[in-house]
Structure 1
């Protein structure tokens, strides 16, 4: 199914450090179990044709599993339910792992594991082993139609490079899995070097003939992780037709959200990449690798990272106080991230670059057909890495950068295309540039220009670009909407709905008449 065919449901608003964000509502609140089915997908799915079973800390596995006679262990429940059944888990601490190896079916319905309304079941990994060297507190292996909703997963740790703790792990193949409204925190590796790994939420499509597909990861909070060389939330291998929507990822020491390819997770390179996906309406902040033993004192952690993925839309996310805001690249020579759209995102107050494409060196892969439109980049590169607001590195071809507000930090670097290894790394047009209190710098194929006119003449790009104050409402809060008199209002190119998308970062209609604004917001 193409990305454009995916839909998700009701929308609401929350505030993050003064910036409004709209994203998918993930469930209805009810005081009964099971709770009503969510509406994340336009088609919906949750068929509950079976029995409701209960688990509680005061139960016993010799019970019937009814509300009055609950089971004690989640694993016992997983081993004794079938398609269409619901496992309703009462609040309390469960010091156990949950491995789900039998799922639902299209005909009989999903298996649903969910928290009892207004109660918090906690899976605590303190003292638990890590089977096979890599496992999750909750693991779904080769299953279809399973929902995991409303749990807290915590305290799964290792001090060994031979062990990889994961909060929630989806592996093998399967379709119709939904991970909704959970909190995953304090998953940690204290081992040193880049052989040390831990993950908050990891998805590995490891099969050749079958993928992990129709996957929804929504409304989760993932935080306070110690990751080594790994990601807070990661999709890798043979994974397709997926959504990562409305999650909050923060306070971790490596990448926030990753969509990855060509790592050998799937047995054939032809299917070994996350593809046909949506990363939308997420809030990502407080992400840095500075001081991470795997990186030392490097600002290398992305808020959102597509490394070898294809046909992915990244839209309406708010990313702030991270190292690299959004990066689309490939770490593997001869491979690229391709056909990715990055639109209507806010990226601000980063330690390093706001948005980056292309490989980090001449010996790795790159980016092709990446379209970056209607984003607002503000006050990134605070650590004076001089990578700028928008960076183009090696092996970047046939990309587009248009309708973006680019407002530099004290470094003044607006565009940093430093390599010159391709004839046209990106088609640049109708961007609004501003450098307050510093000399502006556009670097194109290694040549630095300090005026917009010089940059346009030297690069042959951005002929309709503007150099002016975007007139943000408030840069302290911040509120990165613009005032009605801003040159961003009505100043963009209307590239059409398939490219610019239906909504801006606040959920307003993007195309209103013939004009379109520059930046992440539409008036």
Structure 2
């Protein structure tokens, strides 16, 4: 009886062992089908497994169909990555560095671009993730060429750009253009996510470090560091003729980014002008900008449209810390009468201090041309040495309300409020004459 029980137990163990061996073999076989490996030590005649990897990103992209993850091993790849296939909702395509290995995609040894060129290119593709790459050293001296670290274009949707480091992308001509990360919706785009990237040390000409432009409906730009570039940090654009329909970026969130030391001063496209916004909405709609830290730029956060008759609308600028920017902290409205404006937007619960560092009279809050039906409320505002808290320059601005703000004077001198060309050097006279900020506070901390 004991022998029969022992034989039964042994039999069960053998059956279970064969089952797990089969299962593991099946998993390995599926892994071979869904994972591709690339290494500088590989060969494109290999089969793309971890032990027999491909050599080039090009070969991996050709083989990567829906459901594939391409793992790129450590090293420098002197080539561009062109995504060849789309994924699906249930089977996306992922390109990422293997584990924590450092992967560099470099343009250093590429032929100098004479036309628009990117080191990573996604055109008319869906359900793609690009993760964990250093993208660097693509430059041009040709005026007609725009160089980009990562470019997404056409009708691409459900795209995630995550944990990449983009730097040293440059144009070397006065009228040239360059981008770190560019998303151009020439057709309809949806669900664009730009997360946890660092974009820095770019020579941009008249372009921007991180830009979404055109027919883009639904996006998230979060937890990025954008710094030390010679033009705008993050830009959300409409009405430039990028798309034939719905040519404006809309329905998105910009949150938890750190954007600093972006300035156009000395950029040949702008000369000695402080015009670069840290975060800039140029014709976008229904966009929330929240919980960002924005400092050391020319303008902290700006929302308007550069196109006459167009507007930035329903922009919610809330819970940001905006400080030490050269011209102004937060600005709405066009910079002259030939531009568009800002309507139906809210600036609330921000901490705004120490801006207007160059004494350019932009103060902490700046209302320029065509500013209509906006609310500015519950902000904490502290002036710099210019003493200017608020500037509203255009006589025709209307329907704008200011309430429940706190103005803190830390300089020992009276603050200034400029409202439609009238200057007030006391809070009470500003309240009385403009009927604004009647329930707001002015605290003299000196």
- Give the TM-score normalised by the residue count of structure 1: 0.78
1:19-58 superposed matches below 5 A: 51-58=34-41
Alignment match, 2:66: 83
Write the distance in 2 (CA, Å) between the matches of 1:434 and 1:420: 27
Write the distance in 1 (CA, Å) between the matches of 2:445 and 2:410: 11
Would you say 1:237 and 2:211 are equivalent positions? no
Deviation of 1:49 after TM superposition, in Å, equals 11
Alignment match, 2:264: 289
Write the distance in 2 (CA, Å) between the matches of 1:223 and 1:285: 10
Would you say 1:300 and 2:275 are equivalent positions? yes
Would you say 1:316 and 2:297 are equivalent positions? no
The 10-residue stretch of structure 1 (169-178 or 324-333) with the greater mean CA deviation from structure 2:
169-178
1:483-498 superposed matches below 5 A: none
Name which of 377, 383, 402 aligns with 1:428: 402
Alignment match, 1:327: 302
Write the distance in 2 (CA, Å) between the matches of 1:127 and 1:264: 34
| Number of equivalent positions | 415
Query: Helix, strand or coil: the match of 2:170?
Result: strand
Tell me if the contact between 2:122 and 2:156 (Cα under 8 Å) persists in the aligned partners: no
Q: Which has the higher contact order (CA 8 A, sep 6+)?
A: 1
- Runs of 4+ in structure 1 off by over 3 angstroms are 129-132
Alignment match, 1:462: 437
Write the distance in 1 (CA, Å) between the matches of 2:445 and 2:59: 59
1:204-283 superposed matches below 5 A: 204-207=184-187, 211-268=188-245, 271-283=246-258
Tell me if the contact between 2:410 and 2:445 (Cα under 8 Å) persists in the aligned partners: no
Alignment match, 1:141: 123
Deviation of 1:446 after TM superposition, in Å, equals 1.3
Alignment match, 1:377: 352
Write the distance in 1 (CA, Å) between the matches of 2:242 and 2:444: 47
Query: Helix, strand or coil: the match of 2:136?
Result: strand
Write the distance in 2 (CA, Å) between the matches of 1:131 and 1:286: 28
Alignment match, 2:16: none
Tell me if the contact between 1:378 and 1:409 (Cα under 8 Å) persists in the aligned partners: yes
Name which of 155, 163, 185 aligns with 2:145: 163
Tell me if the contact between 1:397 and 1:422 (Cα under 8 Å) persists in the aligned partners: yes
Tell me if the contact between 1:409 and 1:435 (Cα under 8 Å) persists in the aligned partners: no
Alignment match, 2:13: none
Name which of 388, 394, 408 aligns with 2:369: 394
Write the distance in 1 (CA, Å) between the matches of 2:222 and 2:32: 27
Q: 1:373 to 1:70 in 2, by over 3 A?
A: same
Query: Helix, strand or coil: the match of 1:79?
Result: helix
Alignment match, 2:160: 178
Name which of 77, 92, 108 aligns with 1:110: 92
Which structure has the larger Rg? 2
**Residues 435-476 of structure 1 deviation map (CA, whole Å, 9 limit, x = unaligned):** 3323311011111111111001111111011111579xxxxx
Alignment match, 1:495: none
Write the distance in 2 (CA, Å) between the matches of 1:336 and 1:362: 13
Query: Helix, strand or coil: the match of 1:361?
Result: coil
Write the distance in 2 (CA, Å) between the matches of 1:311 and 1:351: 27
Tell me if the contact between 1:49 and 1:85 (Cα under 8 Å) persists in the aligned partners: no
Q: 1:180 to 1:310 in 2, by over 3 A?
A: same
Deviation of 1:238 after TM superposition, in Å, equals 0.6
Deviation of 1:99 after TM superposition, in Å, equals 0.9
Alignment match, 2:15: none
Tell me if the contact between 2:38 and 2:53 (Cα under 8 Å) persists in the aligned partners: yes
Alignment match, 2:318: 343
Query: Helix, strand or coil: the match of 2:433?
Result: helix
Name which of 62, 68, 71 aligns with 2:54: 71
Query: Helix, strand or coil: the match of 2:428?
Result: helix
Deviation of 1:196 after TM superposition, in Å, equals 1.3
Unaligned runs of 5+ in 2: 1-30
Write the distance in 1 (CA, Å) between the matches of 2:113 and 2:83: 14
Tell me if the contact between 2:409 and 2:445 (Cα under 8 Å) persists in the aligned partners: no
Query: Helix, strand or coil: the match of 1:294?
Result: coil
Alignment match, 1:500: none
Alignment match, 1:119: 101
Alignment match, 2:11: none
Alignment match, 1:62: 45
Name which of 389, 392, 398 aligns with 1:417: 392
**Residues 60-114 of structure 1 deviation map (CA, whole Å, 9 limit, x = unaligned):** 100000000000001110011100001000011000001113110124x110000
Tell me how large the CA RMSD over aligned residues is: 1.4
Tell me if the contact between 1:361 and 1:393 (Cα under 8 Å) persists in the aligned partners: yes
Write the distance in 2 (CA, Å) between the matches of 1:202 and 1:151: 16
- Give the TM-score normalised by the residue count of structure 2: 0.91
Unaligned runs of 5+ in 1: 1-47, 472-523
Query: Helix, strand or coil: the match of 1:133?
Result: coil
The structure that is helix-richer by fraction is: 2
